[in-house]
Amino acid sequence: MTIPDDAFAPDVAVIGAGPAGLMAAETLSAAGLSVTVFEKLPSVGRKFLMAGRGGLNLTHSEDFDTFVSRYGAAAERLRPILEAFPPDALIAWAHGLGQETFVGSSGRIFPKALKASPLLRAWLARLSAQEVQIRTRRAWTGWDAQGALAFATPDGATETVRPRRATILALGGASWPRLGSDGAWAPLLADQGVAIAPVRPANVGFSVDWSQIFKDRFQGQPLKGLALTFAGQTVRGEIMIADYGLEGGAIYALSAALRDAIEAHGKAVVEIDLRPDLSAGGITARLIDGRRSESLANRLRKTLHLTPAAINLLREAHGVDLPQSPRALGALIKRVPITLTAVQPIARAISSAGGVAFSEVDEHLRLRRRPDVLIAGEMLDWEAPTGGYLLQACFASGVAAARAVLEAEPG
């Protein structure tokens, strides 16, 4: 059964109730347009709330050019979008919702509440006051034969809507599918002739062939204060030992290059510096000065403050019998080679790469094949590391799509 909904047809239909979609709805409704947001799940912002479990890293405080560079191949395409709604604008927006922010030691910016739920509640209250309609349990299935948007409803019916001015698609990428971002939109757009770059995991963990004893003893333990190097790029931070391999902020920062290398060569070797603040010579001197009567594990723990997990990581890389020479052991501590053998599935990734090719949208994010349709958020072919870059680009692209609608002539 098909249910026509022309009676409540809005000026703009926004499909997807994540950060990009809700920001587009706010921008449009603040300008006086009627907006209906369609969401297939029973509630909105599911992935946004999940991001809040890690403190809700909204954006970053580094200088703008450095910030933009974090988007890699998509940096220059995203630059004008980020310039129009930069980190300062996002911070001001959060403050306007009563959520004060602070800058962490790493330069990342968080709400003081360190979670998403207070911000989302205030945001939804604002949207309600601006008369934004939100229709949940509406799964977008494309366009019907007459060109109307079609949605599957919980009772098996098809609901159709024909917005008067535009449609903004903000359906997310394909990571964490149980939270709504499952990439089901890709074939719907491909059927319209839209080029879709393959969707791949980003900010993701990697498999390592741990020994069983290492896996059983150390899974779930962090390794802190490290430096990781791959393909000439070095990042500092921490990683987490998982039963399948490695995950965590520092590995995520290198995940795009590591993923590409594994896809091309079947493996990637990342080098871990367990004591980046010490030179190899400094480490060697400390090992020489250590008490020779103690076990090697105790010397490493006392002279270099290596944890049992770090010491056993050395053994995973080299073998149970570590070098006895202080110079050779110092060199190993500075460059622990760990072979990554596979990328974890996209369902376990924080975000995804790929999506609608930028060649398919104009500078205002309008689909060239359907100018009444705009694309925002992770649906576009870009990726970025964690650290506030993901949310910032989602918010900014939602604003950009909405402003494009406002600047266009009605009809």
DSSP state of 361: B
Q: For 51-60, 227-236, 272-281, 375-384, which range has the lowest pLDDT when averaged over its residues? A: 51-60
**Cα separation of 135 and 113, whole Å?**
28
- Six token digits for residue 240: 């987490």
Q: Which CATH number fits domain 2-201+350-407: 3.30.300.30, 3.90.550.10, 3.50.50.60, 3.40.50.300?
A: 3.50.50.60
**Cα separation of 16 and 405, whole Å?**
17
Query: pLDDT digits over 240-273, tens only?
Result: 999 999 999 999 999 999 999 999 999 999 999 9
Mark residue 69 as left, alpha or beta (left: phi above 0; alpha: psi -120 to 50; beta: remaining).
Answer: alpha
DSSP state of 71: T
Rg (alpha carbons) of the chain, rounded to whole number: 24
Is the CB of residue 219 less than 8 Å from the CB of residue 205? Answer: no
Q: Phi and psi (nearest 5°) for 109?
A: -115, 130
- Tell the residue number behind the tokens 């509406």, with chain if given: 138
Residue 296 has a pLDDT of 83
**What's the rounded mean pLDDT across residues 88-117?**
95
Q: How confident is the model at residue 6 (pLDDT cuts 50, 70, 90)?
A: low
- State which H helix or E strand residue 66 sits in: helix 64-69
**What's the rounded mean pLDDT across residues 281-298?**
81
**What's the rounded mean pLDDT across residues 93-104?**
97
Is the sign of the CA dihedral 169, 174, 175, 180 positive or negative?
A: positive
Residue 271 has a pLDDT of 98
Q: How many CA atoms lie within 13 A of 243 on its CB side?
A: 1
Q: Is the pLDDT of residue 2 over 60?
A: no
Q: How confident is the model at residue 292 (pLDDT cuts 50, 70, 90)?
A: low
Instruction: From 14, 16, 23, select the one nearest 161 (Cα to Cα).
Output: 14
**Cα separation of 199 and 186, whole Å?**
9
Is the CB of residue 109 less than 8 Å from the CB of residue 60? Answer: yes
**Cα separation of 189 and 184, whole Å?**
10
Query: pLDDT digits over 22-72, tens only?
Result: 999 999 999 999 999 999 999 999 989 988 677 899 999 999 999 999 999
Q: What is the pTM of this model?
A: 0.91
Q: What are the boundaries of each domain within the chain? A: 2-201+350-407, 206-343
398: Cβ–Cβ under 8 A, 6 or more apart, which residues? Answer: 19, 20, 21, 22, 23, 24, 27, 168, 170, 376, 377
What residue type is 42 in one-letter code? Answer: P
The set of long-range contacts for 185-188, using a CB threshold of 8 Å and a minimum separation of 24, is 185/140, 185/379, 186/355, 188/140, 188/141, 188/142
